[in-house]
């Protein structure tokens, strides 16, 4: 079967064609646990003509231990070296890629290799799985020349995999104990709502459950997802569905140099009664969304514009900052001219010249992507705006800037002293309940009034993380609209990327792999066996891919 899969994948039989991966993670659960285990086991075979190899779950070689120089040279000639991916679909039958395909340890003897140059080797691969989640983390492989084949190779590989798994469990327990310890301290000392978040752990104290209803709790948990894996402390504000604003303070917890997780302390910034008594949301053209968090953002922007306070609007790309500013300006200052200048399009000199001309004309001003300006350009912009504020304090134009949430203008820059207010626009993943309304709005704007989205399709869209935010959603709807002009959009009509619900960011290769699996399943009406056959993979592999990518079918 492995040879059949290799043939269907068009594997070159004359030479291995392993891809080289530019960036291989250096510090992971697998590498931390394997480092000491493999160092010890490599010492036991130091004088033997055998190489001890560790790969990740994609078959990419992370480390190679070998004392025999001639063997190292031979492995280099077939690219069985750190950074190269030894997937079965690329190099054919081998102890690494085939073990991942069948999901079991195995020994591949010389002639059993599909690729000619690999027939001079024998290799034994054993999977390393996470002891808690069961996820495949990688492979331990022992490779030697075919003449030295020994059944003990597989036993040694399985022993190494077992020891790594045991060490992962020890580290997991140690990290969880550290996180739990600091969580209990935070709960006792603060007396306030506290959440602990780790790779596989999320804990919420009684105070959090008592102070926030289920919808607010879900929103807080969703915001804490952004903190997972962060190694620096930070504080952010979260607008919750109930209408209150909560201050979330994240503090990372370490065991030695390893991140165990983090503690999030929560404090209400706006009293509930006051929050619920706010005025109705002003209607803005070209803006859709009715969630509490979105309404709070819109209301804040309109309030600032009404008071003619200068404003910095920050947020991730694609969240709708420009749309919000244009709509708020039309609503509040509709009779006043506004010039919208993009610092990402104009050169620094061109931008500053146009800023000067706009201010001289007395028009309102919006500068997009101010974070891309150099320190020198920011200083000149600050001087221009400062002059306007001095010269016409009673009838000065309204000015707003947009910045990237993680690349904003430095807090200490004099320019920001001219702007009393910074408002953050939430990413789409923080107000997913607005997606049905956004879908209708975007379809109407695209001229697809006869096209509707089914409840099932909307629910599927609301399961996604939308790293590209509203701009990403618009591109998805544009793609759907190219294939149909009217009727009801069902889940099967969505692009492949929307049929998977994994929250992590995929590499380009993983995204292509996900799309291929989704397309094959669609072509074969969800028949996993037929889809696997068409893709040249085993049923076990396609089930693993479906779980790994969160594919819904």
CATH number, domain with residue 385: 3.40.50.300
Examine residue 175 and state whether it is found in any structural domain, yes or no.
Answer: no
- Are both 487 and 376 inside the same structural domain? no
Examine residue 284 and state whether it is found in any structural domain, yes or no.
Answer: no
Average pLDDT estimate for 531-551: 82
The CATH number assigned to the domain holding 224 equals: 3.30.450.20
Residue with structure tokens 């040694």? 156
The closest alpha carbon to 228, from 32, 504, 511, 507, belongs to: 504
At 503, the pLDDT band (50, 70, 90 cuts) reads low
Strand partners, 265: 194, 249
Convert the pLDDT of each residue in 369-390 to its tens digit.
999 999 899 999 999 998 887 7
Q: What pLDDT does residue 504 have?
A: 62
Burial (CB count within 10 angstroms: exposed 0-12, middle 13-18, buried 19+), residue 206: exposed
Q: In what order do the strands lie in the sheet with 245-255?
A: 202-204, 194-197, 258-268, 245-255, 234-239
- Are both 148 and 90 inside the same structural domain? yes
Residue 275 reports pLDDT greater than 50: no
- Are both 127 and 199 inside the same structural domain? no
Domain that holds residue 394: 300-426
- Are both 38 and 153 inside the same structural domain? yes
- Say which range, 91-95, 345-349, 356-360, 524-528, has the weakest mean pLDDT: 524-528
> What pTM value is reported for the model?
0.58
What is the β-pairing status of strands 61-65 and 202-204? unpaired
At 457, the pLDDT band (50, 70, 90 cuts) reads very high
- Are both 439 and 412 inside the same structural domain? no
Distance CA 324, CA 327 (A): 5
Q: What pLDDT does residue 394 have?
A: 59
Examine residue 291 and state whether it is found in any structural domain, yes or no.
Answer: no
- Are both 365 and 399 inside the same structural domain? yes
Residue 19, H or E segment: strand 19-20
- Are both 411 and 316 inside the same structural domain? yes
Examine residue 494 and state whether it is found in any structural domain, yes or no.
Answer: yes
SS3 245: strand
Examine residue 240 and state whether it is found in any structural domain, yes or no.
Answer: yes
- Are both 18 and 121 inside the same structural domain? yes
Report the chain's mean pLDDT, rounded to a whole number: 88
Last residue of a domain, one of 386, 407, 426: 426
Q: What is the number of domains present in the chain?
A: 4
Last residue of a domain, one of 426, 459, 485: 426
Examine residue 185 and state whether it is found in any structural domain, yes or no.
Answer: no
- Are both 26 and 161 inside the same structural domain? yes
- The dihedral through the CA atoms of 276, 421, 193, 296 has a sign that is positive
Distance CA 253, CA 259 (A): 6
- Are both 538 and 479 inside the same structural domain? yes
- Are both 315 and 378 inside the same structural domain? yes
């Amino acid at each position: 079967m492995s040879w059949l899969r290799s043939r269907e994948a068009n594997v070159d039989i004359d030479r291995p064609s392993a891809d080289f991966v530019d960036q291989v993670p250096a510090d992971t659960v697998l590498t931390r646990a394997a480092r000491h285990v493999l160092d010890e086991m490599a010492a036991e075979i130091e004088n033997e003509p055998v190489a001890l190899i560790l790969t990740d779950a994609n078959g990419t070689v992370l480390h190679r231990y070998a004392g025999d120089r001639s063997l190292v040279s031979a492995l280099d000639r077939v690219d069985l070296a750190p950074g190269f991916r030894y997937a079965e679909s690329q190099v054919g039958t081998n102890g690494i890629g085939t073990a991942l395909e069948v999901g079991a340890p195995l020994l591949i003897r010389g002639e059993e290799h599909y690729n000619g140059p690999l027939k001079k080797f024998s290799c034994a691969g054993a999977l390393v799985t996470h002891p808690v989640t069961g996820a495949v983390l990688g492979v331990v492989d022992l490779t030697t020349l075919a003449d030295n084949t020994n059944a003990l190779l597989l036993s040694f590989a399985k022993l190494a995999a077992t020891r790594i798994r045991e060490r992962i469990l020890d580290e997991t327990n140690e990290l969880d104990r550290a996180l739990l310890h600091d969580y209990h301290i935070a709960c006792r000392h603060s007396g306030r709502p506290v959440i602990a978040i780790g790779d596989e752990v999320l804990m919420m104290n009684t105070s959090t459950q008592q102070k926030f209803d289920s919808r607010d709790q879900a929103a807080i948990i969703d915001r804490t997802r952004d903190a997972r894996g962060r190694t620096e402390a930070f504080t952010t504000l979260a607008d919750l569905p109930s209408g209150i604003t909560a201050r979330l303070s994240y503090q990372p917890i370490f065991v030695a140099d390893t991140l165990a997780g983090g503690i999030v302390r929560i404090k209400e910034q706006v009293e509930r009664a006051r929050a619920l008594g706010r005025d109705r949301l002003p209607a803005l053209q070209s803006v859709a969304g009715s969630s509490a968090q979105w309404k709070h953002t819109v209301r804040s922007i309109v309030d600032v514009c009404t008071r003619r306070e200068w404003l910095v609007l920050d947020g991730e790309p694609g969240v709708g900052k420009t749309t919000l500013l244009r709509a708020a300006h039309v609503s509040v200052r509709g009779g006043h001219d506004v010039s919208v200048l993009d610092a990402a399009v104009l050169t620094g000199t061109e931008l500053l010249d146009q800023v000067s001309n706009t201010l001289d004309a007395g028009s309102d001003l919006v500068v997009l992507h101010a974070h891309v300006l150099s320190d020198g350009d920011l200083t000149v912009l600050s001087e221009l705006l400062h002059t306007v504020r001095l010269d016409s304090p009673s009838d000065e134009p309204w000015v707003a800037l947009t910045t990237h949430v993680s690349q904003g203008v430095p807090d200490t820059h004099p320019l920001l002293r001219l702007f009393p207010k910074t408002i953050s626009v939430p990413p789409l993943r923080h107000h997913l309940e607005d997606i049905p309304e956004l879908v209708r709005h975007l379809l109407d704007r695209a001229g697809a009034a006869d096209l509707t989205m089914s409840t099932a399709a909307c629910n599927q869209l609301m399961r996604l993380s939308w790293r590209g935010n509203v701009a990403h959603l618009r591109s998805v709807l544009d793609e759907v609209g190219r294939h149909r002009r009217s009727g009801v959009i069902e889940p099967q009509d969505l692009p492949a990327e929307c049929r998977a619900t994994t929250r992590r960011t995929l590499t380009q290769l993983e995204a292509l792999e996900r799309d291929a699996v989704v397309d094959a399943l669609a072509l074969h009406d969800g028949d996993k066996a037929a889809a696997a056959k068409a893709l040249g993979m085993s049923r076990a592999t396609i089930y693993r891919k479906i779980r790994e990518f969160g594919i819904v079918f």
